[in-house]
């Protein structure tokens, strides 16, 4: 589970239901994710209690967040 994060879509301004896009995330509280993330990590995106997207981590840029596998 991710906490609040700012997300930016790569190459597009927005994403509509049923489409796939790449995004870069910046956690507002990255200390809660330290050592947890790895390529293949699956997550959901929620707006309130509604699930609006599913995602999979492709690459972890911040080594502090990278899980030791």
1-59 pLDDT, tens digit per residue, is 556 888 899 999 888 888 999 999 999 988 888 999 999 999 988 888 898 889 999 99
pLDDT given for residue 1 in this prediction: 52
The whole-angstrom separation of Cα 13 and Cα 21 is 10
The answer for residues whose C-beta is within 8 angstroms of residue 46's C-beta and 6 or more apart is 52
Q: What is the pTM of this model?
A: 0.81
43-52-37 Cα angle (round to 5)? 15
Neighbours of 55 (CB within 10 A): 17
Q: What share of the chain is helix, strand, coil (3-state, %, to 5)?
A: 5, 35, 60
pLDDT given for residue 3 in this prediction: 67
């Amino acid at each position: 589970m991710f906490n609040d994060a700012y997300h930016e879509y790569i190459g597009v301004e927005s994403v509509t239901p049923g489409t796939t896009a790449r995004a870069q995330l910046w956690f507002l509280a990255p200390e809660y994710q330290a050592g947890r993330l790895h390529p293949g990590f699956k997550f959901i995106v929620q707006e309130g209690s509604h699930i609006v997207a599913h995602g999979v981590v492709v690459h972890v840029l911040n080594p502090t967040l990278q899980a030791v596998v």
